[in-house]
Amino acid sequence: MDVLTKFGVNWPAFIAQVVIVLIVYAILNKYAFGPVLAMLEQRRLKIEAGEKDLVKIREQLEQADAKVQASLDEANAKAERLISEARESAAAVREQKTQEAISEAEKIIAKAREASKLEHERLMAELKRDFGRLVVDTTGKVTGKVLDDKDQARINQEVAGQVAL
């Protein structure tokens, strides 16, 4: 204790100061530290809750992103399928229209051939008739006699037979 007195420790003042510090600490602990520590604890709890909510939000965001990506993938697949079906349908329609055009062209060609054949037959009949008349007129002039209907019919048949060959 000798050392403490050399340094100027006054025991009654030291004890009084310790008591005052303890009283101030108790007052501060009750009225200042307690509420501040409670407020800090509330903030810590709010921060923890916010972090938990943030984790939940991130998980929900990841799930939403996955759902959006799945929807986009499904929509892309559906679009590709529709495009493929449209191309196939267009090809089928194109093929059908081509076949219809070919069929129509064949019908037109057949009609044209038929019309050509009928026109040929008509022209041949007209030619035979005109040729027969010419032969009858020429025969009448050459022979100098007027041919009756029977002679004209016989000559027309002979000429028609020779022209047909």
- Is residue 147 within 8 A of residue 139, CB to CB? The reply is yes
Residue 74 has pLDDT above 80, yes or no: yes
**pLDDT per residue as tens digits for the range 92-119:** 999 999 999 999 999 999 999 999 999 9
CA distance 140 to 36: 150
Higher pLDDT, 7 or 50: 50
Range of the domain at 95: 2-164
- What is the pLDDT, as a whole number, of residue 162? 67
SS3 readout for 91-114:
HHHHHHHHHHHHHHHHHHHHHHHH
Structurally, the chain folds into a number of domains equal to 1
